[in-house]
Copies of this chain bind each other. A is one copy, B any other.
Amino acid sequence: MRIVVLAGGIGGARFLLGVRAYAREVGAEVTAVVNVGDDLLLHGLKVCPDLDSVMYTLGGGADPERGWGRVGETWTVKSELAAYGAEPTWFGLGDKDIATHLVRTTMLNAGYPLSQVTEALATRWQPGVRLLPATDDRLETHVVVSGRSEPAVASSADPVGADGGQRAIHFQEWWVRHRAEIPTHRFVFVGAETAKPAPGVLEAIGAADVVLVAPSNPVVSIAPILAVPGLREAVADGPAPVVGVSPIIGGAPVRGMADRCLAVLGVECSAAGVGGLYGGRSAGGLLDGWLVAPEDEGTVVPDVTVRSAPLRMTDEAATATMVRAALELV
């Protein structure tokens, strides 16, 4: 049995723990297609937060309390960078984490594509699933917000900043620095038009027995994956049934700020709202099945089979049970 999971963020990483546990039980192979829209260059280092969250979590190196980054992390480099006045200071790179970015950046600069770099990094972490970036190309989520560009950024070369009171900032600046608390107009996946699925992505989707959409943020974790030309079509038109797991329980995100992201799109923050955003496959959408929490029983998504099961990923066993419920849906 072959399972492909579309995943991003901490929700995606924790979900994959359950997928891996399930897969080990039944002898299945798992391929995770991971969001790269959050990726950014910081102090010259290529940082891939979603790939790293998955790698650290599955490799047993993640901080279980904080949810992101490494367990036992230290922050010497960060405080030294601040002592130099090096910007930005709002995104904290831990010392352990920095080693990952140094290895990645060195390999990328040497010409290796991100997918090969990811494979190389994974030889250390042995995540037990195949990790693929959605694309090897630059695809960055930017956010169009109100307000003029800051002096350092404002220029005639900034078409959005020049456009009377709107400017585009990197997703991480919106998410981490502004906590998504500024007037926001829309999300833009920069580079999406020309991005190609990373080697192996379309093949994995084509050969899958089932595609799972992790309970990740639908707007900034899953949408950037689907924005890679050909990727959404491979899932929607592929042979495998597609089951999504709701990241919203009882009208609130389990974690993170999906509510703020959904509000930007004018989509209701509910299991029904996100299910409807993905859409039923027979109606040009993505889903055959949609797993919601017991709190959301009775959720209706047109043309989609909806079932309920406990969706709190409290531990690996609970998450594996949830994965089993998702797979039994189709």
A21: Cβ under 8 A from any B Cβ:
no
In the complex, what's the smallest C-beta–C-beta distance from A127 to chain B, in angstroms?
14
A85: Cβ under 8 A from any B Cβ:
yes
Q: Report the Cα distance A103→B85, complex, angstroms.
A: 9
Interface residues of A in 77-105 (CB under 8 A from B): 77, 80-81, 83-86, 95-96, 98-100, 102-103, 105
The reply to whether B124 and A84 contact each other, CB–CB distance below 8 Å, is yes
The reply to whether B76 and A109 contact each other, CB–CB distance below 8 Å, is no
Enumerate chain B residues within 8 angstroms of A329, measured Cβ to Cβ.
none
A186: Cβ under 8 A from any B Cβ:
no
The reply to whether B124 and A103 contact each other, CB–CB distance below 8 Å, is no
Q: A43-B106, A44-B105, A44-B106 are in contact. Are A99 and B81 (CB under 8 A)?
A: yes
Chain A 17-45, CB within 8 Å of chain B: the 1/0 string? 00000000000000000000000000111
Interface residues of A in 34-83 (CB under 8 A from B): 43-45, 74, 76-77, 80-81, 83
A313: Cβ under 8 A from any B Cβ:
no
The reply to whether A77 and B95 contact each other, CB–CB distance below 8 Å, is yes
The reply to whether B74 and A99 contact each other, CB–CB distance below 8 Å, is no
A160: Cβ under 8 A from any B Cβ:
no
Q: Report the Cα distance A45→B105, complex, angstroms.
A: 10
Enumerate chain B residues within 8 angstroms of A99, measured Cβ to Cβ.
76-77, 80-81, 83-84, 86
Q: Report the Cα distance A81→B105, complex, angstroms.
A: 13
Enumerate chain B residues within 8 angstroms of A81, measured Cβ to Cβ.
99, 102-103
Number of copies: 2
Most buried by B among A74, A100, A102: A102
A121: Cβ under 8 A from any B Cβ:
yes
Q: A45-B102, A80-B96 are in contact. Are A124 and B74 (CB under 8 A)?
A: no
The reply to whether A95 and B83 contact each other, CB–CB distance below 8 Å, is no
Q: A84-B121, A95-B95 are in contact. Are A109 and B74 (CB under 8 A)?
A: no
Enumerate chain B residues within 8 angstroms of A45, measured Cβ to Cβ.
102
From B43, B98, B100, B105, A103 is in contact (CB under 8 Å) with B43
The reply to whether B76 and A96 contact each other, CB–CB distance below 8 Å, is yes
In the complex, what's the smallest C-beta–C-beta distance from A217 to chain B, in angstroms?
28
Enumerate chain B residues within 8 angstroms of A80, measured Cβ to Cβ.
95-96, 98-100
From B44, B74, B84, B103, A86 is in contact (CB under 8 Å) with B103
Q: Report the Cα distance A81→B101, complex, angstroms.
A: 10
Chosen A-B contacts, 15 in total, with CB atoms closer than 8 Å, are A43-B106, A44-B44, A45-B102, A74-B76, A76-B76, A77-B77, A77-B98, A77-B102, A80-B99, A81-B102, A83-B124, A84-B124, A86-B99, A86-B106, A95-B95
Give the B-binding residues of A (Cβ under 8 A).
Answer: 43-45, 74, 76-77, 80-81, 83-86, 95-96, 98-100, 102-103, 105-106, 109, 121, 124
Which A-B residue pairs are the 8 nearest by beta carbons? A80-B99, A76-B95, A44-B106, A43-B102, A81-B99, A77-B99, A84-B103, A80-B96
- 13 further A-B pairs in the complex, CB-CB below 8 A; given A74-B74, A85-B124, A95-B95: A43-B102, A74-B76, A76-B95, A76-B96, A77-B95, A77-B98, A80-B95, A80-B96, A80-B99, A81-B103, A84-B99, A84-B121, A98-B98
